[in-house]
A and B are shown apart, each in its own frame.
Chain A
Amino acid sequence: DAGVIQSPRHEVTEMGQEVTLRCKPISGHDYLFWYRQTMMRGLELLIYFNNNVPIDDSGMPEDRFSAKMPNASFSTLKIQPSEPRDSAVYFCASSFEGVQETQYFGPGTRLLVL
Chain B
Amino acid sequence: QKEVEQDPGPLSVPEGAIVSLNCTYSNSAFQYFMWYRQYSRKGPELLMYTYSSGNKEDGRFTAQVDKSSKYISLFIRDSQPSDSATYLCAMSAGDYKLSFGAGTTVTVRA
Contact = CB atoms under 8 A, between A and B. Distances in A.
A106 B102 contact: no
B44 A105 contact: yes
Given A43-B88, A55-B96, A100 B44 contact: no
What class of interface size applies to chain A in its complex with B? 20 to 34
B94 A100 contact: yes
Interface of A is mostly: strand
Given A48-B96, A55-B96, A56-B97, A43 B32 contact: no
B46 A103 contact: yes
Interface size class of B (residues with CB under 8 A): 20 to 34
Interface string B21-49: 00000000000101000000111111001
Contacts of B34: 101
B96 A31 contact: yes
A95 B36 CA distance: 15
Nearest to B48: A101
Interface string A55-86: 11000000000000000000000000000000
Interface of A: 4, 31, 33, 42-45, 48, 50, 55-56, 91, 93, 95, 100-108
